[in-house]
Amino acid sequence: MSKNISDLTGKKGLEQNLFEQIGRLAAKNGTPTIDEMEKLAEDFLVGKANVYGSASFYDFTRKENQGKKVYVCNGSSCLTAGTQNAVTEKLSKHFKAEEIGHMCCLGRCHENSSFHLDGKNYSGNAIESITDIKAAKTKPTDTYHIAAIGTQVLTENFPGIPTFYKILETALRQTPEALLAELKTSGLRGRGGAGFPMSFKLESCKNTPGKTKFVVCNADEGDPGAYSDRYLLEQRPHAVLLGMIITGYIIGATHGVLYIRGEYPESVEIIEEEIKKLYESGYLGENILNSKFSFDFKVIKAQGAYICGEETALLSSIEGQRPEVRVRPPYPAQQGLFNKPTVVNNVETLACVPWILREGGAKFAAIGRGKSTGTKLISLDGFFNRPGIYEADMGTPLSVVVNELGQGFKSKVKALHIGGPLGGLVPVDKIKDLTVDFESFNQNGFLLGHASVVCLPENYPMIDYIEHLFEFTAHESCGKCFPCRLGSTRGAELIHKARTSDYKMDKTLLTDLIETMEIGSLCALGGGVPLPIKNALKYFDNELTPYFKR
């Protein structure tokens, strides 16, 4: 990360944003031209290499994206469901091979067969209507089951803007210190995977001097299999927006940035529309409700890069830099977006804030188990009899989620990959031992993460899935640190060679490789993917033994 570049790209502010300029230029034919990139470098007073390095990184702006017209989902859930070859085959009757690209997880994991065309996502049986879709005669539809067991924090009915924003009216009559105290009492921890206390970030940023501060919503945590963020952005957007406004009031920020996955076009549209309503209702802008507090939103559409779910890479991306992970310290709370104090939280974390301030931190803390307070959204994929989004109190037995909420499996399943590609690979016989909370998963050698569930059917080879995880990491690595960049590539090559030839792997070599990645990687991408690999080696030893030397 270059401090000077952060300062330079910040001079034009959020509205004239280098990253967005790259995206707009790429929208014309898939990638900016050399002349266009050189002009951007001149306009923003940065080097040509800086602009090229950024534009060539993202899936939707790099040269390889030129001429693409339709995209097939290649996320883990669609992969294990085995639906995508048929989707590609049907699309190939309407598009040339070079016009078909890929997107990683469109958030349609509940029914798979997912693809993206003309800025819209489709799934399920939509591929059968591809002729009508191309002729703009069919609009995308998307329904999935939503239910809760226990307290409804995030799935409660939305009462309308005037009623819901009474929470803001009450909050603005209190001091930031009083609101922060409620969040401390609640014990709210980050829902993106790390489980870091939200109040600690807020207090640190609040206490850092600075005239300009930012609240950033990380809506780019694109774990394949997880569509809970999409649910909140599209069906409970005001929980997220109000959470950001109140967070801004607590830390002294006047700007909120929503960085939303490019793979979720409907989320971007809905959030932008709801923000307009808030301006019209007087809940955004200058001197909100005569409180002397001002707050404005900026929505940024991402361009396809899983690493931007890591908070420091996300900040570099907004600045127009190549989204590489930053070395910490300094932490974003002290030196974040454009080198200004910044709080970054994920969608679900921010969405909990309004309920906590309405009901009280103690009530939220009373839900859950131990240090895992409150509720958790869980995404169940298409292998369940009733796939969908479920809200459960922390501490709920995983068996209840699987058998009661999801109503069991449609076909035989051997493992659940929970928490995204960096989460644990849970064999079905371990379901009975787990509860939905951070401690239970950690103590059993897994990771709760987003609480997304991707099922591996009995007939899906574990060796194929391990190769998929290494390939995913190699493709999505920012490239900054050697263990992740090289380790993921070597791991994919090693597995592929053993899977497709008579070559037998040395288990010590493989374990040394993933240990190096785990210990030496800068962030959770390279450091996290060894977890499911180790789970596979431990629990599926019999299936994997033929690929190793005796």
**255-260 vs 296-301, strand pairing mode:** parallel
Neighbours of 270 (CB within 10 A): 17
CATH number at residue 533: 1.20.1440.230
- 247 with 395, same domain? no
Give CA separation, 42 vs 38, 55, 522, in Å: 6, 15, 32
- Identity (one letter) of the amino acid at 368? G
Domain stop point among 310, 342, 368: 368
Provide the domain limits for residue 89.
70-143
Q: Based on the domain organization, do 301 and 330 belong to the same domain?
A: yes
Strand ranges for 45-177 from DSSP E: 70-73, 100-103, 115-117, 120-122, 145-149
d(CA 204, CA 482): 31
Q: Which pLDDT does position 221 carry in this prediction?
A: 82
Buried b / exposed e along 105-136 (16+ C-beta atoms within 10 A) = bbbbbbbbbbbbbeebbbbbebbeebeebeee
Q: Which of 49, 65, 81 is the last residue of a domain?
A: 65
Q: Does residue 388 sit in the same domain as residue 248?
A: no
Q: By the 8 A CB rule, do 91 and 72 touch?
A: yes
Domain identity same for 244 and 227: yes
| Residues 351-370: tens digit of each pLDDT | 999 999 999 999 999 999 99
167: phi then psi, degrees, rounded to nearest 5: -60, -40
pLDDT in tens, 388-410: 999 999 999 999 999 999 999 99
Q: How far apart are the C-alpha atoms of 215 and 309, rounded to whole Å? A: 15
51: left (phi over 0), alpha (psi -120 to 50) or beta: alpha
Shared domain check, 186 and 48: no
For residues 508 and 543, state if they share a domain: yes
Q: Which residues of the chain have pLDDT under 50?
A: 1
Same domain, 177 and 316: yes
Confidence (pTM):
0.96
Q: Which of 403, 427, 457 is the last residue of a domain?
A: 457
Question: Tell me, what's the pLDDT at 1?
Answer: 46
State how many domains the chain has: 5
In the chain, % helix, strand, coil (3-state, to 5) comes to 50, 15, 35
Question: In one letter, which amino acid is 489?
Answer: T
Residue 192 has a pLDDT of 82
How far apart, in whole angstroms, are the C-alpha atoms of residue 64 and residue 30? 8
The answer to whether 109 and 75 are in contact (CB under 8 A) is yes
Domain check: are 152 and 293 in the same one? yes
